[in-house]
Amino acid sequence: MKKTIMTLSIVASVGLSTALVGIPASTAMAASLSELEKKSEEIQTKQEGIQTEINQKEAQLNEISAEKAQVNADIDRIDIAIGDTTAKITEKNQQIDEKNAEITQLNKEIDVLKERIATRNELLKDRARSYQESGGMVSYIEVLVGAESFSDFIDRVGAVAVILEADQDILAQHKADKDALEQKQAQLEKDLSDLEAMRAELDALKADLDVQKAQKNELMTSLLQEEAQVNELKMSLEEQNENLTAQDAAVQKAIEMEQQRQAELKRQQAAAAAAAASAGASSGGSSTVSTVPVSDGTFTRPAAGTITSGFGFRSFNGGGFHYGVDIAKGGTVPIVAAADGVVSRSYTSSSYGETVMITHIINGQTYTTVYAHMSSRSVGNLVTVTKGQVIGYMGNTGDSYGQHLHFELHRGAWNAAKSNAINPVGIVPL
- pLDDT-derived band at 150 (thresholds 50, 70, 90) equals low
pLDDT of residue 161: 65
1-30+288-430 is a CATH 2.70.70.10 domain = yes
Mean pLDDT lowest among 169-173, 300-304, 351-355: 169-173
Task: Look up the CATH number of domain 68-228.
Answer: 1.10.287
Domain boundaries defined on the chain: 1-30+288-430, 68-228
Task: State mean pLDDT over 43-61.
Answer: 82
Asked, colleague to colleague, whether 1-30+288-430 and 68-228 share their fold, the answer is no
Tell me which range, 20-29, 59-68, 155-164, 379-388, is most confidently predicted by mean pLDDT: 379-388
Q: Confirm if 430 and 325 have CB atoms less than 8 A apart.
A: yes
- Per the model's pLDDT, the better-predicted residue between 34 and 427 turns out to be 427
Which of 244-253, 257-266, 405-414 reaches the highest mean pLDDT? 405-414
What is the structure's pLDDT at 142? Answer: 60
Burial 59-80 (b: 16+ CB within 10 A, else e): ebbeebeebbeebeebbeebee
Nearest of 173, 174, 168 to residue 121 by alpha carbon:
174
Q: Which residues contact 305 (CB under 8 A, 6 or more apart)?
A: 327, 328, 329, 333, 394, 404, 405
DSSP 197-258: HHHHHHHHHHHHHHHHHHHHHHHHHHHHHHHHHHHHHHHHHHHHHHHHHHHHHHHHHHHHHH
What pLDDT was estimated at residue 331?
94
DSSP 8-state class, residue 323 = -
Confidence of residue 303 (pLDDT cuts 50, 70, 90): very high
Cα–Cα distance for residue pair 120/173, rounded to 1 Å: 9
Q: Which stretch, 9-18, 278-287, 320-329, has highest mean pLDDT? A: 320-329
> Which residue would you say has higher pLDDT here, 21 or 95?
95
- Is pLDDT of 409 > 90? yes
- State if pTM tops 0.85: no
CA–CA distances in Å: residue 131 to residues 118, 121, 146, 172: 20, 15, 18, 18
Among candidates 417, 9, 26, 38, which has minimal Cα distance to 251?
A: 38
Q: What is the pLDDT of residue 245?
A: 81
